[in-house]
Amino acid sequence: MSGNTPWTIDGFLEARNGRLHMDGADVASIAAERGTPLYLFSESRIRANIAALRQSAARAWPRVKLCYATKANSNMAVLCAARESGIDIEVNSGGELFKALRAGFHGSQIIFNGVSKTAKEIEEALAADIYAINLDSIYELELVASIARRMGRRANVAFRLVPEIETRSHIALQTALYNSKFGISPSQFLEGFTLALKMPELINPRGIHIHVGSQTPDVAPYARAFKSVIEHLIDLHRATGHKLDHINLGGGMPVDYLRDGLNGDGLRERERVMLSGQLDIADILQASLDEAYSNASDRAEAAELLEDITIVFEPGRSIVADAGIVLTAICNVKTRPETGDTWLLTDAGFNLMLSMATYKWYYHAVAAARASEPHDTPYKLAGPLCDSGDVYFDLESEGRLPDYRLLPANMQPGDVLALLNAGAYTLSQEMASYNDRPRPCALMIKSSGSVEVIRRQGNYDDLIANDVW
């Protein structure tokens, strides 16, 4: 029997014979064989998400460069799947650059972001002759120029602009505000570019970068950001005659974490809107272009500057979030007579899903072996860590997470839960050493159907491998 619950994705995430299947594989059986907690990813879903983004972008603009945001999930198998799917890559550190190159990406495919790039990281980026170093300050421009001079290189750069644009995402995920740590202020933009143009042998100023933030549920912030970029391009062209070859709109395309619809009523409106966001990249591009041409007096000049421009996006979450799940077993069940609550204590805590603590993020839970049964019994869920904040709900009761998770009745120790949409910002932010718990294994269901280890199971020896005593 195939389930019709709203969290299913045809051909990928389904209930078959009452059990949760991912790419045709029985996830409860995988958990029984491999142990929990466990990360499980789908190569075919990653490829399908990238294909959908590429097709959508092509409908709106002929020259789009998609760069996978490595920070969302930098596992080497994920990077290789992304590269083989025809996408480029964005990195935020020397380590991510190293992994991108090892995964087979060429320098022309790589964009380097970051607010505190070290001299060593800049040297590595220049040595790889990457597509663009996105500069975060005028000081960083001068630093890149000095390193380029010493290395006898010419640096491809773009300037990251912060234009004071608010979104309806979590405040800590908004990156285009003046109170964020990112980017160059609009008042410094022309100064920075003018300085760059005075060093043509060292600096190749190619583009402008802007990123409104992650999990942005509306097209309007992107459109306002694009209009701001066009205004700066016009100002730059009028002042210097210089044209850029790309506009980078960053990433932040949302994922619908509330696709199940079961727990949305318990959330504040802001969280509900943010967590249920759905945007098409073609809609973002079309709204952005409409906004760029909205000023009649500048329309002709804007059209000229956009004529040969490449538009860059840096999707991360929208590629890997729904391609991964966390499998966790119930280790303990207890009741609290004073409140009437039943608690399920699992072996996966916020150390494996850090956003659950930092952003009060929601991951929908499905009983892996009872996926077709009604999920209508409320439970309080918590992880194994010696930390009162290691819970799957909002301790402050401010409506940022539902107080209960709905699961089948009579859940028991040993039952396995699948936490959906957990492919992004889980493995990459993991703090598995907290309480000295070995790192979980990560598996990938390959496009061939085989289930392969993409990160080995940690052990106790790993916990002391780097200690000196």
Q: In whole angstroms, what is the distance from residue 308 CA to residue 452 CA? A: 43
CA distance 33 to 281: 39
**Cα–Cα distance, 126 to 112 (Å, whole number):** 10
SS3 231: helix
Under 8 Å between Cβ of 221 and 291 = no
Q: How far apart are CA 236 and CA 191, in angstroms?
A: 10
Catalytic residue among 67, 80, 331, 386: 386
Q: How far apart are CA 310 and CA 64, in angstroms?
A: 6
22, β-bridge pairs? 13, 25
80 is catalytic: no
CA distances from 233 to 16, 209, 374, 428 (A): 54, 12, 55, 35
Closest CA relative to residue 214, chosen from 96, 106, 92: 92
Q: Please state the φ and ψ torsions of residue 280, each to the nearest 5 degrees.
A: -105, 135
Largest Cα span, the chain: 74
Q: Is the dihedral of CA 350, 354, 358, 364 positive or negative?
A: negative
Q: Which residue has the tokens 């995988």?
A: 30
Other CB atoms within a 10 A radius of the CB of residue 83 amount to 18
* 311-347 burial: b if 16+ Cβ within 10 Å, else e: bbbbbbbbbbbbbbbbbbbbeeeeeeeeeeebbbbbb
Q: Which two tokens stand for residue 392?
A: 């799957």
Q: Are 29 and 16 in contact (CB under 8 A)?
A: no
| Exposed e or buried b per residue across 185-222, where buried means at least 16 C-beta atoms within 10 angstroms of its C-beta | ebeebbebbeebeebeebbbbbbbbbbbbbbbbbbbbb
By CB atoms closer than 10 A (0-12, 13-18, 19+), residue 460 is exposed
Measured CA to CA in angstroms, residue 377 lies from 71, 115, 258, 371 at distances of: 36, 46, 18, 13
SS3 call for 20: strand
Q: Which residues are catalytic?
A: 386
